[in-house]
A and B are shown apart, each in its own frame.
Chain A
């Protein structure tokens, strides 16, 4: 059964009881929340995801709960808990689902150690994966959202999992984080994209989440062979330009952007070196989404 198959009101009820079990392969998360916004966004963003049962083993137990006190009448706040422990400072309840997403990222990156997990987007076409590690402000998520609506399968926006045993990459088909002007940019670029109601005035500006396209979620279990590692760089006015990036430099970037590279020690280094060794490593400067998508499509076509 998928989230979309639940009768009206059931997502909210399950969340309130703390028995909403969400399958985000390869993980299972058990969620609890009394924040209306969490139910609203979960129904939209995870509609195509399978539900588990309370008998399933859950890798993570995540909660977003309203804070008590008089302030709740003026500005409702919510707090995130992982396995019963508070993990972040309280935030306005309107950001409840962003807390679930950040919490999932945090849980995966701190607990999913059969994988090397990189702060990187991953998209797939013809069985080959495009991995995009990038520091904040590079336009990674915006480009990822655009590619996901132009024939690329969205594997991940935030966390790319690199299987140390198979050398394949996978994602969890989770939503794409959009900020500020990117929200409107994606609405215009892909009117079919399903976005949450934007949350204005957060510490990061206006936030919205874009649902992964249904066909991406349907293939969530399929890993892909990494073929390209591209560091996107939004530069106002720049034409789309791909340049070779030294593999050693890309290795350093991936190491910096990895969540658990240190934990894997030498094995993490060797695996990351193998990853860059087998991929084309590129720096990608762009300014418009149409041009950027065209150039990335061309890159994929050249490899056929």
Chain B
């Protein structure tokens, strides 16, 4: 089965700022403001440019992953983080087109 691609949900509504490891994300659709960590901000930056799979995110953020973290743990961490952002309504999955 093909890995899902993640993207920013309603990109016109979402904006963010980050400072020193913590960020704030504003969702103009819901009016909510969320406190997020640096990894979430990295995801939003990358996913706002193009939809990416977890594997592609891992590849692009390879430098940010601690050397002692194995691939399975990193995949699980990214997956968990993306699901958390999806629960906040900030990202969503899209179907890949050939």
Which of A249, A269, A277 is close to B26, meaning CB atoms less than 8 Å apart?
A269
Please measure, in the bound complex, the distance between the C-alpha atom of A276 and the C-alpha atom of B22, giving whole angstroms. Answer: 13
Q: Which of B27-35, B54-62, B81-89 contacts A (4 or more CB under 8 A)?
A: B27-35
Q: Is the CB of B28 within 8 A of A266?
A: yes
Which of A252, A265, A266 is close to B24, meaning CB atoms less than 8 Å apart?
A252
Q: Is the CB of B21 within 8 A of A246?
A: yes
A248 at interface (Cβ–Cβ under 8 A)?
yes
Q: Is the CB of A273 within 8 A of B24?
A: yes
**Interface of B (DSSP majority class):** strand
A interface residues (Cβ-Cβ under 8 A, vs B): 246-249, 251-252, 255, 262, 265-266, 269-270, 273, 276-277
Please measure, in the bound complex, the distance between the C-alpha atom of A30 and the C-alpha atom of B20, giving whole angstroms. Answer: 48
Q: Is the CB of B18 within 8 A of A248?
A: yes
B interface residues (Cβ-Cβ under 8 A, vs A): 15, 17-24, 26, 28, 31, 33, 35-36
Given contacts A266-B26, A269-B26, A273-B24, contact A248 B31 (CB under 8 A): no
Given contacts A255-B33, A262-B31, contact A248 B23 (CB under 8 A): yes
Please measure, in the bound complex, the distance between the C-alpha atom of A278 and the C-alpha atom of B19, giving whole angstroms. Answer: 12
Q: Which chain B positions have C-beta within 8 A of A266?
A: 15, 26, 28
Total A-B Cβ pairs within 8 A: 40
Please measure, in the bound complex, the distance between the C-alpha atom of A266 and the C-alpha atom of B24, giving whole angstroms. Answer: 12
Q: Is the CB of A277 within 8 A of B19?
A: yes
Given contacts A266-B26, A269-B26, A273-B24, contact A251 B17 (CB under 8 A): yes
Q: 29 interchain pairs (CB within 8 A)?
A: A246-B19, A246-B21, A246-B22, A247-B19, A247-B20, A247-B22, A248-B17, A248-B18, A248-B19, A248-B22, A248-B35, A249-B22, A249-B35, A251-B17, A251-B24, A251-B33, A255-B33, A262-B31, A265-B28, A265-B31, A266-B15, A266-B26, A269-B24, A269-B26, A269-B33, A270-B15, A273-B17, A276-B19, A277-B19
